[in-house]
């Protein structure tokens, strides 16, 4: 609610077009709006095509099913992450356009057409075992309206593979690097490209990889200056972040 709108209400009282009680009802929600909370509250609906996101981790199939059912009544685009086959089986009859990405474990639905960005996000992974995280990031980036280019399996153990793709990487507006084990790929790309890099450590590895802690620490200590980091296996967060940057 802007200054103009508030003054309009006040003038309506003055002009006796609005009773004090009605005006009070209009104004009592003011706090949220003045603080911009209402923007938070409602901003997703304002822009056509922006999805509600359902984090499926720790929710039962039944719970997710109810949420998606409700959201479909709101005619929103949908992104559900960390959902298994059984969830997809439980919801697919709601709408034939619901898409399941088995590797990325996402369900998406683009009810409202999304305008794609000109610039693209490059999603780069070190190894084939990192692909599930890449897929989660990809689906997230797409449903948020981004153009995406994916480059898999260019880890530093065979660094020439990376170099042959440098051109595509350098032309991206923002880069997501997905790597497990020692996570060195983030630093190497950070040393080669002057673009914002969002590093996603993955839980790929064993033993002293400590379920991704090794890659996480590695990325946080990157000697390349343009690297920031999200949680282990957090393909969604990286893509959400990248999307904000890509749309700047």
Site for a second copy in 143-202 (CB under 8 A): 155-160, 163-164, 166, 170, 173-174, 181-184, 187-188, 190-192, 194-196, 198, 201
Nearer to a second copy, 36 or 97 (CB): 36
Does residue 24 interact with a second copy by CB under 8 A? yes
Q: Which residues pair with 120 in a beta bridge?
A: 147
Does residue 88 interact with a second copy by CB under 8 A? no
Within residues 94-133, the interface with a second copy by CB under 8 A covers: 126-129
Nearer to a second copy, 69 or 97 (CB): 69
Does residue 245 interact with a second copy by CB under 8 A? yes
Q: Which residues pair with 151 in a beta bridge?
A: 124
What secondary structure, in 3-state letters, does 58-118 show? CCCHHHHHHHHHHHHHCCCCEEEECCCHHHHHHHCCCCCCCEEECCCCEEEECCCCCCCCC
Nearer to a second copy, 93 or 208 (CB): 208
Does residue 86 interact with a second copy by CB under 8 A? no
Does residue 218 interact with a second copy by CB under 8 A? yes
CA pair distance 70, 48, nearest whole angstrom: 18
Closest CA to 155 of 182, 191, 121: 182
- Check residue 29 and report its DSSP letter: T
Does residue 59 interact with a second copy by CB under 8 A? yes
Q: Which residues pair with 53 in a beta bridge?
A: 79
Does residue 2 interact with a second copy by CB under 8 A? no
Whole-number minimum distance, CB 216 to a second copy, in Å?
A: 6
């Amino acid at each position: 609610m802007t200054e103009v709108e508030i003054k309009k209400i006040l003038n309506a009282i003055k002009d006796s077009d609005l009773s004090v009680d009605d005006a009070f009802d209009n104004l009592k929600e003011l706090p949220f709006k003045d603080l911009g909370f209402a923007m938070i509250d409602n901003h997703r609906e304002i822009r056509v095509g922006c999805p509600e996101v359902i984090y499926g981790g720790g929710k039962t199939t039944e719970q997710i099913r109810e949420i998606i059912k409700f959201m479909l009544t709101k005619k929103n685009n949908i992104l559900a992450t960390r959902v298994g086959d059984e969830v997809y089986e439980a919801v697919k009859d709601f709408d034939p356009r619901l898409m399941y990405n088995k590797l990325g474990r996402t369900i998406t639905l683009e009810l409202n057409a999304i305008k794609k960005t000109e610039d693209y996000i490059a999603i780069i992974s070190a190894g084939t075992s990192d692909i599930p995280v890449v897929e989660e990031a990809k689906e997230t980036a797409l449903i948020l309206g981004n153009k995406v280019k994916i480059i898999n399996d260019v880890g530093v153990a065979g660094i020439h593979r990376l170099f042959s793709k440098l051109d595509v990487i350098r032309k991206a507006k923002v880069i997501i690097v997905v790597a497990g084990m020692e996570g060195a790929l983030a630093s190497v790309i950070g040393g080669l490209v002057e673009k914002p890099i969002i590093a996603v450590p993955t839980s790929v590895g064993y033993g002293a990889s400590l379920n991704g802690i090794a890659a996480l620490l590695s990325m946080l200590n990157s000697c390349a200056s343009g690297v920031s980091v999200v949680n282990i296996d957090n393909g969604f967060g990286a893509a959400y972040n990248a999307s904000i940057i890509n749309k700047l």
